[in-house]
Structure 1
Amino acid sequence: MSTGTELILITGATGKQGGATARRLLAAGTPVRALVRDPEAPAALELAAAGAELAVGDFDSPDTIDAAVAGVRAVMGVPPASYGPEGWDSDLEARRGEYLVEAARRAGIEQFVFTGIASFAQEGRWGAEGKRRIEDAVTASGMRWTVLRPVRFMENYLLRGLAVDGIRDGVHRHLFPADRPIQVIAVDDVAAFAQLAFADPDRFHGRTLELAGDARTMPDAARAISQATGIEVRFEEFTEGEAAAMGPEVVAVWRQSRAGAGWRADIPALREIHPALRTFDTWLAETGAAQLKALLT
Structure 2
Amino acid sequence: MSNASAPASPVSGAPFRAALVQMCTGRDVMANVAEASRLIREAAALGASYVQTPEMTGTMEESREALFASLHPEETDPALAAFRALAAELKIHLHLGSLAIRVGEHRAANRAFVLAPDGAIAARYDKIHMFDVTLPNGDVYRESEAYRPGELAVLADLPQIRLGLAICYDLRFPALFRALAEAGAGMIAVPAAFTKTTGEAHWHVLLRARAIETGSYVLAAAQGGTHENGRQTYGHSLIIDPWGEILAEAGVEPGIIHAEIDPARVAYVRGRIPSLDNGRRFELVRPEQEGRLHLVSPAGDAA
| TM-score under structure 2 length normalisation | 0.34
Higher relative contact order (Cα pairs below 8 Å, separated by 6+ residues)? 2
More helix by share: 1
More strand by share: 2
